Structure 1
Amino acid sequence: MPEESWFFAIKDDDLKEGSMEFTRVKGTPILLIRKNNAVYSLSGKCKHMGCRLSKGTFSEEYVLKCPCHGWEYDIRTGKYLGDKDEELSVFENKVEDGEIFVLL
C-alpha cells in the first residue's frame, strides 16, 4: 500500500466562509467546504450514482445534500444520513502558507 502524502488542493483564499469548491487532487475528486472557519474535505462524488456534490447544498446542521437524488451526508464525518450504511471518504487537510493541502 502506498504511503500517504500531502498534496495541494486549492488556495486558501479561494474557499470563502459558507462555500464549497470541487477539485481533483492526484485524480481524486475532492469537495472542500468551509463552515464556521473549519475546512472539511470529502469525496466530491455521491455514493448513490456518482453525482457531483459541489452542485448540491449544505445547511447550518452540517448536512450536504446531493443535487441528483437528495442523499444527505454529514460533512464532518462523511456519514450518509439515510437508512443505508454508506459514507463518503473524508480526507485530513491542513492550511499552510495560504494553501489548502489534503492527505492522500
Structure 2
Amino acid sequence: MPEKSWFFATEENDQMEEKSEFVRAKRTSVIISKKGESVNSLYDCHGWEYGTATSENTGNDGTTLEAYDNTTEDRK
C-alpha cells in the first residue's frame, strides 16, 4: 500500500507539484479542467488506480488538477 501523499496544481500556479510516492486517485473525482472545460481526467479515462501526477500525463496548458487524499476507499 502506498504511503499517504498528495498531488495538486492550482489555477494560480499551473506547475504540477508532486510527491515522489505513488498516489491513489479517486477515479471519478480527480478532474482536469482545461481551457475552461471540465473533462474526464486521464486517471479516469485510462482506469488508472495508482500513478504519479506529472506534467506529461496532465499537461501544462491551463490545467487544474484538484487534490485528493490517497487514503480514500471510493474506488469501484
| TM-score clears 0.5 | no
Which structure has more strand as a fraction of its residues?
1
Larger Rg: 1 or 2? 1
Which structure has more helix as a fraction of its residues?
2
**Structure of higher RCO (CA pairs closer than 8 Å, 6+ residues apart):** 2
